[in-house]
Chains A and B, each alone.
Chain A
Amino acid sequence: MKEKFTKGMARNIYYGGSVFFLLLFIGLTVDTVKRLPETDNRVELTDVVAKGKLVWEHNNCVGCHTLLGEGAYFAPELGNVYERFGNNTEAIKAFIKSRPVNGIPGRRSMPQFNLTEEDLEAVAHFLKYANGIKTHNWPPNKQG
């Protein structure tokens, strides 16, 4: 086997294989992006939602929470929090607003971010938008 399988053949598999699969991946990416309107809930992607995404990012929410399963595993999944909170953006806002400044003794607690009313509204609508993305029915139930 050693003589039959030469370094040249190994090299060809490396170059040929990587280029082939890279091109295939690029092709699938183009196709995926084209199909996104079917799943990505872009009808709800308003300026307020875009602003909400920025609020989400500026407060590093993903440092504790998951969103569609990605992020940190310290705090609940938020991709379906809108549904979990009874399809109610006001409930989301109320929760964020009510966090105690000094936390809860001995327990995990979300920091008080002192968001403005506008930011609260935006981030709540961002989470509502995220809830509308078609994710092959993930998470399995409303607990996230």
Chain B
Amino acid sequence: MKMKYESQSVAKLYFIAAISLFVGQILFGIILGLQYVWGDFLFPYIPFNIARMVHTNLLIVWLLFGFMGAAYYLVPEESQRELHSPKLAKILFWIFLVAGAVIVASYLLIPYAKLAEITGNEVFPTMGREFLEQPTIGKIGIVIVALGFLYNISMTVLSGRKTVINMVLLTGLLGLAVFFLFAFYVPDNLVLDKYFWWFVVHLWVEGVWELILASLLAFVLIKVTGVDREVIEKWLYIIVAMALITGILGTGHHFYFIGTASYWLWVGSVFSALEPIPFFMMTLFAFNVVNKRRRDHPNKVATLWALGTGVMSFLGAGVWGFLHTLAPVNYYTHGTQITAAHGHMAFYGAYVMVVLTIISYAMPKMRGREANPERAQVAEMWSFWLMTIAMVFITLFLTGAGILQVYLQRLTDTPMPFMVVQEKVQVFYWLREAAGLVFLIGLLVYLASFFIKDKQPSQT
């Protein structure tokens, strides 16, 4: 075993589940992309809304598996003690996996309205909102798993060595759980509903998740570069400081057109325009630290993922976010393919890539070696480039579709109906689907890289 603490190995289960659900997410992405160009594909068995719900919910669930696995791996090492309860971690794993599987299966097997009826949604309505479609009972299950997980992690952190990395991570995870509670607040008033819905969605991905992202990145960078902890921790503090300083009021960029007071047009524009700063700092941080490395870690591909996370999160969340964040621009782009373009690259560049970074670093260790054999690493690097370049093109094609959509539907003197415009931008959807298939190939190469052995017996 190459791990410092035995209990870290519980992360392996979480990572395997994360990767498996990732595959499911991408398959449904391919289905959705096809439905964009072949309108009745799988209709009426898997209509678009169901496939999309599976696609986005799987994404969220697998990222949560990734974050939890990452925490179970990182926290003992940072805290310099075994995990409070590896057994609890294993029990929660199975609960979460089974609950997740049942929820996704129920989306596919039962009409959604029926599912709402069976689970008594009328009594305590929380269903039918984007990303938070899970039946109320499922949401309660998520809260229970999160509480158990936080208990386990907190007990470990608080009774061990406290580092900036594990404290920032813990704050991020706590925030994740706290803001999820807004998923239970569904008022009849649509404006209120939308306003507080963003407390989950925005304050997750443009708030506390950034804390998780930055701390995972910092951990891997310390390990692979050997750069002094003091330097890395200073970067970490300043990155998460900027993330929250810009990101909290940056929530305002979602309040422009949902029926709130007009000062949000200003507050949202100004603060969200600054949101790229922490992401740019993350890029600088990753490159700076790798340049100053004090050791050549044999796990080269983990370093590649770490650098990639810096660059792609800046492009996806920072640049593509800024592109449509100013209120006068957003007036035309709000709710178009521009949003879809940004969403895809931001989620991939920030959260998918950081989870793959920590998996890339930790998985070989849990399999008893410092790094994977050369050939496996080369395959993983191929998968890095295939998936990343494919995602760049998915984003560019959706941006193309979005610009055209904005023009034809909203900017021109003779605006056309939505469905007419959709026909006119078809070529971009075809290209996006092709790029999606390249992404899938990249993912298959990624899976294969776990099974590639060296020709010679591997160096331990």
Interface residues of A (CB under 8 A from B): 5-7, 10-11, 13-14, 17-18, 21-22, 24-25, 28-29, 31-33, 35-36, 38-42, 45, 49-50, 53-54, 56-64, 66-77, 101-109, 111-113, 129-130, 133-136, 138-144
Q: B339 near A: Cβ within 8 Å? A: yes
- Structural contact, A21 and B245, CB atoms closer than 8 A: yes
Contacts of B53 in A (CB 8 A): 60, 63
- Would A40 and B234 be within 8 Å (CB), given that A57-B116, A103-B43, A144-B418 are in contact? no
B126 to A, closest residue via Cβ: A57
Please indicate which of the listed interface residues A31, A45, A63 has the most CB atoms of chain B within 10 Å of its own CB.
A63
- Would A25 and B261 be within 8 Å (CB), given that A40-B190, A74-B36, A74-B48 are in contact? no
A135 to B, closest residue via Cβ: B257
Binds A, one of B13-21, B96-104, B329-337: B329-337
- Structural contact, B192 and A138, CB atoms closer than 8 A: no
A45 CA to B187 CA in the complex, in Å? 11
- Structural contact, A24 and B191, CB atoms closer than 8 A: no
A-B contact pairs, 21 of them (CB 8 A): A5-B234, A10-B238, A11-B237, A18-B241, A18-B245, A33-B195, A38-B261, A39-B261, A40-B192, A57-B186, A60-B127, A63-B133, A68-B259, A74-B49, A75-B418, A103-B40, A104-B39, A136-B262, A136-B265, A140-B415, A141-B410
A31 CA to B189 CA in the complex, in Å? 17
Q: B441 near A: Cβ within 8 Å? A: no
- Would A138 and B334 be within 8 Å (CB), given that A32-B195, A74-B52 are in contact? yes
- Structural contact, B249 and A136, CB atoms closer than 8 A: no
- Structural contact, A140 and B128, CB atoms closer than 8 A: no
Contacts of A33 in B (CB 8 A): 192, 195
Q: Which listed residue, A42, A59, A133, touches B112 by the CB 8 Å rule?
A: A59
- Would A57 and B257 be within 8 Å (CB), given that A18-B248, A77-B418, A109-B39 are in contact? no
A14 CA to B233 CA in the complex, in Å? 12
Q: B264 near A: Cβ within 8 Å? A: yes
A67 CA to B45 CA in the complex, in Å? 24
- Structural contact, B241 and A17, CB atoms closer than 8 A: yes
- Would A135 and B44 be within 8 Å (CB), given that A7-B234, A76-B417, A143-B416 are in contact? no
- Structural contact, A36 and B238, CB atoms closer than 8 A: no
- Structural contact, B245 and A73, CB atoms closer than 8 A: no
- Structural contact, A59 and B188, CB atoms closer than 8 A: no
- Structural contact, B261 and A70, CB atoms closer than 8 A: no
Contacts of B38 in A (CB 8 A): 106
Q: Which listed residue, A13, A60, A69, touches B133 by the CB 8 Å rule?
A: A60
Q: B448 near A: Cβ within 8 Å? A: no
Given contacts A39-B261, A62-B128, list 11 more A-B pairs with CB under 8 A. A5-B234, A14-B237, A58-B113, A60-B127, A61-B128, A75-B418, A107-B39, A108-B48, A112-B44, A136-B256, A140-B410
- Structural contact, B52 and A63, CB atoms closer than 8 A: yes
Q: Render B111-127 as a binary contact track against A, CB cut-off 8 A, 1 for contact.
A: 01100110001100101
- Would A135 and B230 be within 8 Å (CB), given that A36-B189, A102-B44, A130-B190 are in contact? no
- Structural contact, A32 and B260, CB atoms closer than 8 A: yes
Contacts of A10 in B (CB 8 A): 234, 237-238, 241
- Structural contact, A68 and B257, CB atoms closer than 8 A: yes
Q: Render B300-342 as a binary contact track against A, CB cut-off 8 A, 1 for contact.
A: 0000000000000000000000000000000110111101100
Q: Which listed residue, A32, A57, A104, touches B128 by the CB 8 Å rule?
A: A57
Q: How far is the CB of A84 from chain B (nearest CB, A)?
A: 9
- Would A104 and B40 be within 8 Å (CB), given that A5-B234, A62-B128, A135-B258 are in contact? yes
Q: Which listed residue, B192, B230, B248, B258, touches A70 by the CB 8 Å rule?
A: B258
Q: B160 near A: Cβ within 8 Å? A: no
Contacts of B121 in A (CB 8 A): 54, 57-58
A63 CA to B49 CA in the complex, in Å? 4
A29 to B, closest residue via Cβ: B195
Q: How far is the CB of A45 from chain B (nearest CB, A)?
A: 6
- Structural contact, A40 and B189, CB atoms closer than 8 A: yes
